[in-house]
């Protein structure tokens, strides 16, 4: 019987990614990282995407109100070794995942789309399209 190719990440990848997200969120929320920049900012870990071999984790973050996001990313990258050790200690995996921190742009994209949809010209066009049904 042929094995089916599934679309997207496996349940295991999603589960491990979510575990890593929870651990990082807890570490940042509790202020376990001794870093002045991170101490001054509320940082949300919005998503963690694991590589298929679980050796790499791409961590998407958003600082509260998007303030000083570059400084927050730099602070996280400076403290990557500590964060990797903590994640490896709290989640029992064969290998400690290498963390890569990126800014989560999805909120900005959503705001941009929302702004476009609220534009009077677009609203007028949408209303015309609905009237054609």
**CATH for 52:** 3.30.300.20
pLDDT in tens, 56-108: 999 999 988 767 889 999 999 999 999 999 999 999 877 889 999 999 887 66
Residue 64, domain member (yes or no): yes
- Domain tally, the chain: 1
Q: How high is the pLDDT of residue 122?
A: 72
Domain residue limits at 99: 11-104
Residue 31, domain member (yes or no): yes
> Is pLDDT of 130 > 50?
yes
How many Cβ atoms are within 10 Å of 46's Cβ, its own excluded?
A: 15
Residue 131, domain member (yes or no): no
Q: How far apart are the first and last CA of the chain?
A: 46
Residue 116, domain member (yes or no): no
Q: How high is the pLDDT of residue 20?
A: 96
Residue 27, domain member (yes or no): yes
Residue 54, domain member (yes or no): yes
Global pTM value: 0.74
Residue 55, domain member (yes or no): yes
Q: How high is the pLDDT of residue 115?
A: 73
* C-alpha to C-alpha distance for 99 and 77, rounded to whole angstroms: 9
pLDDT in tens, 4-60: 455 677 898 999 999 999 999 999 999 899 999 999 889 999 999 999 999 999 999
Single out the residue of 44, 46, 55, 53 nearest to residue 9, CA to CA.
53
Residue 4, domain member (yes or no): no
- Helix (H) / strand (E) containing 103: strand 98-103
* pLDDT interval class at 112 (50, 70, 90): low
């Amino acid at each position: 019987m042929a094995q089916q190719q599934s679309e997207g990440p496996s349940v295991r990848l999603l589960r491990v990614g979510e575990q890593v997200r929870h651990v990082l969120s807890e570490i940042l929320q509790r202020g376990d990282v001794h870093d002045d920049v991170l101490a001054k900012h509320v940082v949300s870990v919005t998503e963690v995407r694991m590589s298929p071999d679980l050796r790499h984790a791409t961590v998407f973050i958003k600082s509260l109100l998007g303030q000083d996001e570059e400084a927050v990313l730099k602070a996280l990258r400076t403290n990557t070794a500590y964060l990797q050790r903590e994640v490896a200690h709290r989640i029992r995996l064969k290998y400690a995942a290498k963390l890569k921190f990126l800014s989560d742009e999805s909120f900005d994209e959503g705001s941009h789309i929302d702004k476009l949809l609220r534009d009077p010209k677009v609203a007028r066009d949408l209303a015309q399209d609905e009237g054609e049904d």
